Amino acid sequence: MIAPFPKPHPFGVPCPRPRPKLERRPKGKPMTLLAGFRCADGGILMCADREESGDGTKRSVSKLKEWKSEDAHFICGVSGTTVVVANLYERLGEEFQKHKGNLERSHKDIIGNVLRSIHKDFREFKEWEEVVIAAAFYRNVSIPVSSFLYGTIGSALEPVAEYACKGVGKDLARYFCHRLYEPWPGRRWAVLLAAFIFREVEDHVESVGRGTDMKYLATQQRKVWTVPHGYIRQLEATIPTLQDAIVGAWAKGIQIPEWLAADLYSGEQST
């Protein structure tokens, strides 16, 4: 049996329209560039851009978080929404405090469990965060300090041997690292390299900017050296841009071959 056609809606009576389901969105956007570099003296340089976007405004904020106890030191950076980052930092801080004295043995399980809990509780967010963590563990003066650099793939913690780049602009940052990073550079060279990379990414990738935070986890001295972002801006101004460096090098060091220098309109036919 054929179903009857629906009756026409009475003229002049408002027709109800389906209303879209509002999805809860966190404040701020998951747009942060993070990087970590292992250095020759066992230290780790941690970096993050300072731009935070939300509610139609842009702010300059510090995005690197530190935790320190008698036996351990952590520096963490997260590329994620404000609410997720705050929850992640709070949970990590509680777990580090709870397990202090045994963090060298248990830190990977602690961080992994916290990451999985964040994934579970905030799985409705389509863009989840990426994390870079530097860790150092102190035992006593006679035993060398052990240090680790980690990045994340989803909720999994991945040890990093040389450098890690995460967040927005990471592909461009990785390209520069691949071309310019020499394994285990000195601290000064690592700071120069990071300043160049973050400056170039800021110039070419939206939502990366407002300066760069840098913290150096100096494992031998058992402390963190914070580089003021104003100093980094001064350093960036002294480093030639990629374009200037390449054009300048080509102008000085490339001998144009005869076939390219020849007059293209001389009547010679190319084969």
Asked if residue 91 is part of any domain, the answer here is: yes
Asked if residue 19 is part of any domain, the answer here is: no
Q: At what angle do helices 170-180 and 187-204 cross, to 10 degrees?
A: 140
Confidence of residue 267 (pLDDT cuts 50, 70, 90): low
Q: Which residue has the tokens 């580089």?
A: 227
Quick one: average pLDDT of 107-130?
A: 81
The chain-wide mean pLDDT, for the chain, equals 84
Asked if residue 90 is part of any domain, the answer here is: yes
pLDDT higher than 90, residue 224: yes
Q: What pLDDT is stored for residue 141 in this prediction?
A: 61
Query: What residues contact 239, with CB distance under 8 A and at least 6 apart?
Result: 192, 195, 196, 199
Asked if residue 2 is part of any domain, the answer here is: no
**Residue 100 is part of which domain span?**
33-253
Total domains present in the chain: 1
Report the distance separating Cα 196 and Cα 214, nearest Å: 13
Intra-chain end-to-end CA distance of the chain, in Å = 77
Asked if residue 262 is part of any domain, the answer here is: no
pLDDT higher than 80, residue 126: no
pLDDT higher than 60, residue 236: yes
Quick one: average pLDDT of 208-221?
A: 92
Asked if residue 21 is part of any domain, the answer here is: no
pLDDT tens column, 78-112: 988 888 889 999 999 999 999 988 899 999 999 99
Q: What pLDDT is stored for residue 45 in this prediction?
A: 97
The percent of residues above 90 in pLDDT, for the chain, comes to 51
46-77: burial string, b at 16+ Cβ within 10 Å, e else: bbbbbbbbeeeeeeeeebbbebeeeebbbbbb
Confidence of residue 19 (pLDDT cuts 50, 70, 90): very low
Quick one: average pLDDT of 14-32?
A: 47
- Nearest CA to 80 out of 4, 116, 39, 27 is that of 27
Quick one: average pLDDT of 19-38?
A: 62
Domain at 131, CATH number: 3.60.20.10
> C-alpha 131: how far from its chain's center?
7
Report the distance separating Cα 132 and Cα 29, nearest Å: 18
Asked if residue 40 is part of any domain, the answer here is: yes
Pairwise pLDDT comparison (11 vs 206), residue with the higher score: 206
Asked if residue 26 is part of any domain, the answer here is: no
